[in-house]
Amino acid sequence: KNQVEQSPQSLIILEGKNCTLQCNYTVSPFSNLRWYKQDTGRGPVSLTIMTFSENTKSNGRYTATLDADTKQSSLHITASQLSDSASYICVVSGDTNAGKSTFGDGTTLTVKP
């Protein structure tokens, strides 16, 4: 069964600190992995998309890594800001049909001043 597991479930950090969110998946075959940020009351916004051949992708202070061999991904946030407080969702697609996607339950990040 295709699964995407994210950890931790929730995280609280102080403003300015770094943090790393984890995503482990068992989706096969693999097409791509996406990280989304969802602010409270809003729709998810794509942060990064990585295919099999990509190991690292950055988007500003967000850096995603992918190890297709161990089926693990991480999202690293540098110099956190209060606006980073949100839910971060890992989504893995099993083929080029975007409908075949498996969603993680998300990590809720709270950045405190």
Q: Which residues bind other proteins (CB under 8 A)?
A: 31-32, 34, 42-46, 49, 51, 89, 93, 95-101, 103-106
Q: Give the nearer residue to other proteins in terms of CB position, either 14 or 42.
A: 42
Q: Give the nearer residue to other proteins in terms of CB position, either 74 or 87.
A: 87
Alpha-carbon torsion, ordered 39, 36, 76, 92, to 10 deg: 150
Contact at 8 Å (CB) between 19 and 80? yes
Contact at 8 Å (CB) between 21 and 107? yes
The CB-of-58 to other proteins minimum distance in angstroms stands at 15
**How far apart are alpha carbons 112 and 10 in whole angstroms?**
13
The CB-of-52 to other proteins minimum distance in angstroms stands at 11
Among all chains, which residue has been given the structure tokens 């950890």? 7
Q: Give the nearer residue to other proteins in terms of CB position, either 41 or 113.
A: 41
Instruction: Give the tokens for residue 69.
Output: 């061999």
The CB-of-56 to other proteins minimum distance in angstroms stands at 18
